[in-house]
């Protein structure tokens, strides 16, 4: 029997836009209650207004380990039993050969995509272990399977997410906790604009002449994964646009 999300508590990081926002809408439509985090509280409040379910918005930066620990430890009792954690928060900062990269960009990506994911996962999973139930869904990337030029550090962080996904599953073997990774290729969000530091024209070029995935496509995959019967774990799902066959090979019209 498929797993119902009705009244389940789902924590989504980076829920203010893109894939995280689309996951929040999809989970709300499936009847879940949402804890949503992001750095921009006003975006989370707007999200809360737009859905017909209980939402607990939390302004936080997942790089801040003390803030993460306090937030999880001090959740109101009715929000404490988190059923599903969707580790979505992450970014690429900068694009170019490693020797031309900036230390601050390296820190931002590693601290968010790897360390932040670890902090929140450890704090949430310790409760899941006590309850012997739960599901961690990591948003990885094709970049966690295939490293490409000019993306060394970003790819390294997504390889790390891949490793965390695999090892966490092994740590939790024998419990009823599921661990999954959804690994997208090109998704049309503000991802490239962030990577190119606000250069919208350059970001547009990334998706030119092809139909990239949408955030809703990935939310759909997350929903599929979350609603499988409890004995089924979607371990790792790579999702690419039809016009993309690898991290670097795409077909474009014109």
Distance (Å, whole) CA 35 – CA 24:
9
Residue 33 or 158 having the CB closest to ligand 8X3: 158
| Least CB distance to ligand 8X3 at residue 160 (A) | 13
Q: Of these, 116, 185, 189, 241, which contacts ligand 8X3 (CB under 6 A)?
A: 185
215 sits near ligand 8X3 (criterion: CB under 6 A): no
Residue 111 or 171 having the CB closest to ligand 8X3: 111
| Least CB distance to ligand 8X3 at residue 239 (A) | 10
Q: Active site residue: 3, 56, 148, 154, which one?
A: 154
Residue 113 or 123 having the CB closest to ligand 8X3: 113
**From the CB of residue 189, how many other CB atoms can be counted at a distance below 10 Å?**
22
Site for ligand 8X3 in 44-103 (CB under 6 A): none
The enclosing H or E element of 12 equals strand 9-13
H-type alpha helices, 58-173: 65-73, 103-109, 117-131, 152-171
Residue 3 or 95 having the CB closest to ligand 8X3: 95
141 sits near ligand 8X3 (criterion: CB under 6 A): yes
**From the CB of residue 37, how many other CB atoms can be counted at a distance below 10 Å?**
26
Sign of dihedral through CA atoms 240, 245, 246, 250?
Answer: negative
Check if 3 is active-site. Answer: no
User: How many chain residues interact with ligand 8X3 (CB under 6 A)?
Assistant: 7
**Number of helices and strands in the chain (H, E):** 9, 7
247 sits near ligand 8X3 (criterion: CB under 6 A): yes
| Least CB distance to ligand 8X3 at residue 128 (A) | 26
| Least CB distance to ligand 8X3 at residue 153 (A) | 12
Q: How far is CA 180 from CA 51, 162, 238, in A?
A: 26, 10, 11
Distance (Å, whole) CA 1 – CA 204:
42
Listed residue (20, 138, 112, 13) closest to 72, CA to CA: 13
Catalytic site positions: 154
Residue ranges in contact with ligand 8X3 by CB under 6 A: 141-143, 185-186, 191, 247
């Amino acid at each position: 029997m498929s797993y119902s999300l009705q009244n389940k508590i789902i924590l989504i990081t980076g829920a203010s836009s893109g894939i995280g926002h689309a996951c929040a809408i999809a989970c709300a439509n499936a009847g879940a209650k949402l804890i949503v985090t992001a750095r921009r509280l006003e975006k989370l409040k707007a999200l809360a207004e737009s859905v017909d379910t209980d939402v607990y918005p939390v302004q936080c930066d997942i790089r801040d380990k003390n803030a993460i620990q306090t937030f999880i430890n001090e959740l109101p009792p009715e929000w404490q039993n988190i059923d599903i954690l969707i580790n979505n928060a992450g970014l690429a900062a900068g694009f170019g050969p490693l020797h031309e990269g900036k230390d601050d960009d390296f820190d931002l990506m590693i601290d968010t995509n790897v360390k932040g994911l670890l902090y929140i996962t450890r704090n949430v999973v310790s409760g899941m272990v006590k309850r012997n139930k739960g599901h961690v869904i990591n948003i990885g990337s094709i970049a966690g399977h295939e490293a490409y030029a000019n993306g060394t550090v970003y790819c390294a962080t997504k390889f790390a997410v891949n490793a965390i996904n695999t090892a966490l599953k092994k740590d939790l073997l024998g419990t009823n906790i599921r661990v999954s990774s959804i690994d997208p290729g090109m998704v049309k969000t503000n991802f490239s604009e962030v990577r190119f530091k606000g250069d919208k024209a350059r970001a547009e070029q990334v998706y030119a002449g092809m139909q990239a995935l949408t955030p809703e496509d990935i939310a759909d995959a997350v929903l599929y994964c979350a609603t499988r019967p409890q004995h089924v774990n979607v371990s790792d799902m790579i999702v690419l646009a039809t016009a993309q066959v690898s991290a670097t090979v795409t077909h474009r019209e014109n």
